[in-house]
Structure 1
């Protein structure tokens, strides 16, 4: 998938580094969130800074790419980061929650769902989640394959 994208858009891959990952922390959630992206509704995601560090992953950069896989690890799309900012939990706004498009897209649903998610993922690595933890808020475009790519990609 990466080779096909790079061949079609060599100007977009000046930095050939990219990550391969999936949304969420289990197969069903990965598929659910990927479906939201494929439908065109979801164009943002949020991850704790501490989670990147715990996995040994580089922090995303504007213009960086990642291959999003389904819950079984099959690559489905290439995503390009277009906006990044750091925040804490109270600093997330309704516009970001709507762009993340989970549940009903409201800030209240975003807070409820992410509170549960980060409590679960932090506990799984032996940590305790706090609302003051730094969060990477990332907006993105789908850039490959062409049938899923955003028009402005």
Structure 2
């Protein structure tokens, strides 16, 4: 997938040749559910704890960086490119970001409810306790590959 993308979009790859391979969420079911929202065009943002990137040994993304998003079974499905990034606490999310994440009913209230659950769960899985003051990477992205799913 990466080689086909690099051949079709050499300037994008030259500008940001690094990429990660990962999936959304922390379970096969959630990975598939969130990937489906991306592929349907509803989801164009995501949020992840800075501590999660560090625990995996990944760098925090930068604008222009790529990631190959896999389904819950680990098969690569699409290439995403970061278009906007900021780091902030939980309370710094807003209604526009919640809508861009495209999850549940798209409201800030549901975003807060579900992300409290998610951040608490993933923090506990790595032996930590989540706080609303922990740093979160708020990322907006574009789907760049394959062409039938690209923005």
Q: Normalised by the size of structure 2, how large is the TM-score?
A: 0.98
**Number of aligned pairs?**
150
| Distance across 1 between alignment mates of 2:32 and 2:43 | 13
Partner residue in 2 for 1:10: 10
C-alpha deviation, 1:69, in angstroms: 0.2
Shift, 1:80, TM fit: 0.3
Whether 1:104 and 2:79 are equivalent positions in the alignment is no
User: Within 5 A, what are the aligned runs for 1:1-153?
Assistant: 1-14=1-14, 15-150=16-151
RMSD of aligned alpha carbons: 0.5
| Cα shift readout 1:84-112 (whole Å, capped 9, x = no counterpart) | 00110011000000000110000000000
Distance (Å, rounded) in 1 between the aligned partners of 2:66 and 2:112: 27
1:56-107 per-residue CA deviation (whole Å, 9 max, x = no partner) reads 0011000000000000000000000000001100110000000001100000
**Equivalent-residue separation in structure 2 for 1:134 and 1:89 (angstroms):** 8
Partner Cα separation in structure 2 for residue 131 and residue 47 of structure 1: 13
Q: Tell me, what secondary structure is at the counterpart of 1:140? A: strand
Gaps of 5+ in 2: none
**Using the alignment, how far apart are the partners of 2:121 and 2:48 within structure 1?**
13
- Moved segments of 4+, more than 6 Å: none
SS in structure 2 of the partner of residue 3 of structure 1: helix
Q: TM-score, normalised by structure 1?
A: 0.97
Q: Gaps (5+ residues) in structure 1? A: none
